[in-house]
């Protein structure tokens, strides 16, 4: 994606939406120093330019019964593009795998997986991960505590 130039108002809009996605357009406009109609046009332009990928709620996994978060480090037998793509396509279909990052270094992928409990993760490991295409090895690390969970990116106001 081509990087577009953002002015101070665009950056302020992005920061405010990232911090509080449910802010009304009227409140957003007021906070960035403009009226509502041009603010809405700016938001739509930021969406169309790909700066805003979407909006969602941050759900508490514990209250929904997902008490375990595991990070699985996966090595593949090969790093040929077709093998990487086949693995990614397989992983994309598993709902409890919430993130999949391809890495440079010793490990090919790191996966963030949520599960009801450790036994449920073990079942996912045996039935889903171990059968993923081209997997050479998997190392799992259980998340003990989350001390920071900040979505998005740092946005410095100008």
What single-letter DSSP state applies at residue 108? Answer: S
Say how far apart CA 127 and CA 3 lie, in whole Å. Answer: 42
12 in Cβ contact with 154 (< 8 Å): no
Give the model's confidence band at 1: pLDDT under 50 very low, under 70 low, under 90 confident, else very high: very low
Residue 2 has pLDDT above 60, yes or no: no
Q: Rounded mean pLDDT of the chain?
A: 95
Are residues 24 and 80 both part of a single domain? no
Say how far apart CA 39 and CA 15 lie, in whole Å. Answer: 14
Q: Give per-residue pLDDT as tens, 59-114.
A: 999 999 999 999 999 999 999 999 999 999 999 999 999 999 999 999 999 999 99
Residue 83 falls within a domain, yes or no?
yes
Q: Give per-residue pLDDT as tens, 39-57.
A: 999 999 999 999 999 999 9
Does the pTM exceed 0.95? no
128 in Cβ contact with 114 (< 8 Å): no
Residue 157 falls within a domain, yes or no?
no
The tokens for 150 are 């900040």
Are residues 85 and 116 both part of a single domain? yes
What percentage of the chain carries pLDDT values higher than 90?
A: 94
Q: How far is CA 110 from the centre of its chain?
A: 13
User: Which CATH number does the domain housing residue 17 bear?
Assistant: 1.10.10.10
Residue 28 has pLDDT above 50, yes or no: yes
pLDDT at 157: 79
Residue 58 falls within a domain, yes or no?
no
Residue 24 has pLDDT above 60, yes or no: yes
Range of the domain at 131: 68-142
Are residues 77 and 133 both part of a single domain? yes
């Amino acid at each position: 994606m081509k990087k577009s130039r953002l002015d101070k108002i665009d950056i302020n809009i992005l920061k405010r939406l990232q911090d509080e996605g449910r802010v009304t357009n009227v409140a957003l406009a007021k906070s960035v120093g403009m009226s509502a109609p041009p603010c809405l046009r700016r938001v739509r332009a930021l969406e169309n330019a790909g700066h805003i990928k979407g909006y969602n709620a941050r759900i508490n996994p514990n209250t929904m019964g997902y008490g375990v978060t595991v990070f699985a480090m996966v090595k593949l037998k090969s790093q040929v593009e077709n093998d990487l793509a086949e693995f990614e396509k397989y992983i994309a279909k598993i709902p409890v795998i919430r993130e999949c990052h391809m890495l440079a270094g010793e490990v090919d992928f790191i996966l963030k997986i949520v599960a009801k409990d450790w036994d449920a993760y073990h079942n996912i490991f045996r039935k889903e991960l171990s059968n993923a295409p081209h997997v050479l090895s998997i190392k799992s690390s259980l998340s003990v505590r989350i001390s920071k969970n900040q979505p998005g990116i740092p946005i410095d106001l100008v």
